[in-house]
Amino acid sequence: MSGPRVVCWFSAGAASVVATKLALKKYGDRVVIAYCDPGSEHPDNERFLSDCEKWFGREIIRLKSERYADTWEVWGKRRFLVGPAGALCTIELKKSLRHSFQEPDDIQVFGYTVEERDRAERFRKVNFEVDLWTPLIDENLTKQECLGLLNAAGIEIPAMYKLGYHNNNCVGCVKGGMGYWNKMRRDFPGTFVRMAQLERSLGATIFRENGEPLYLDALDPGRGNHATEPGFECSLLCQSIELEPVTP
């Protein structure tokens, strides 16, 4: 291998898959594929990773926190869900792993699509030390086109996409809106109840309304519309200006 590593951050989302395929085409043996496993994603993701490894002809390195088993353990032990500064689960289960794994001279590949050009530029400004390559933007590829390319390659999309979720995030993401959580209530009632109980035990909520906490168990099942809610990411593409909040 000549030259620095080319690290593709695989998120089990369609965009990161296509970005990785483009990186392999350009850089070959210099490519390292890394996946930060948060422990709370849909079990079908393991099947998806295996299918992608076959398509890539390359192993995906699984990175896992040594401190926390999954998002639920982060929320419970840190007694924090989400706030204006972001979500601790992203920091503990993904960002810290990226920082530990990366090397100073790596070329890092992120699956920003052409719709996310502004987000990529913000990332560059905040993470000026990272040599970022965004092949999907270079190729003018949209998220929908990435899904189409997976279909053309014969790779079955992850279960969360099939269920109509915008992103292949953890099952029960604290960054989701009211429509998302009411969809979770229907699709994963056990997860909804578990989060509602966790909110009460922590005295913390995902939502606030008129400056007051709005608990999930008090959320009107008709509130929100997941189909029209803005998409949200919970991956290494999350806003890089997130700061860890002060917690007890």
pLDDT in tens, 57-109: 999 999 999 999 999 999 999 999 998 877 899 999 999 999 999 999 999 99
Distance CA 95, CA 61 (A): 16
In the chain, what are the helix, strand and coil shares in percent, each to the nearest 5? 45, 15, 40
93 occurs within a structural domain: yes
Count how many domains the chain has.
1
Local confidence band at 245 (pLDDT 50, 70, 90 cut-offs): very low
User: Nearest 5 degrees, angle CA 52-CA 26-CA 104?
Assistant: 90
Q: What is the pLDDT of residues 162-187, one digit of tens each?
A: 999 988 889 999 999 999 999 999 99
The answer to whether residue 29 sits within a structural domain is yes
CATH of the domain at 54: 3.40.50.620
Is 117 part of a structural domain of the chain?
Answer: yes
First to last CA, the chain: 47
- Confidence band (pLDDT; 50, 70, 90) for 247? very low
- For the entire predicted model, the pTM comes to 0.86
Rounded distance between C-alpha atoms, residue 62 and residue 124, angstroms: 25
**Residue 10 lies inside a defined structural domain of this protein:** yes
Does any domain span residue 62? yes
Does residue 50 lie within any of the structural domains?
yes
Residue 238 has pLDDT above 90, yes or no: no
Q: Using CB atoms within 10 Å of the CB of residue 58, give its burial: 0 to 12 exposed, 13 to 18 middle, 19+ buried.
A: middle
Kindly state the average pLDDT of the residues 233-248. 37
Domain that holds residue 64: 6-158
107-141: pLDDT as tens digits: 999 999 999 999 999 999 988 899 999 999 999 99
Is residue 237 domain-resident?
A: no
Q: Is residue 167 part of a domain?
A: no
Q: Do strands 31-37 and 60-64 pair parallel, antiparallel, or not at all (unpaired)? A: parallel
SS3 239: coil
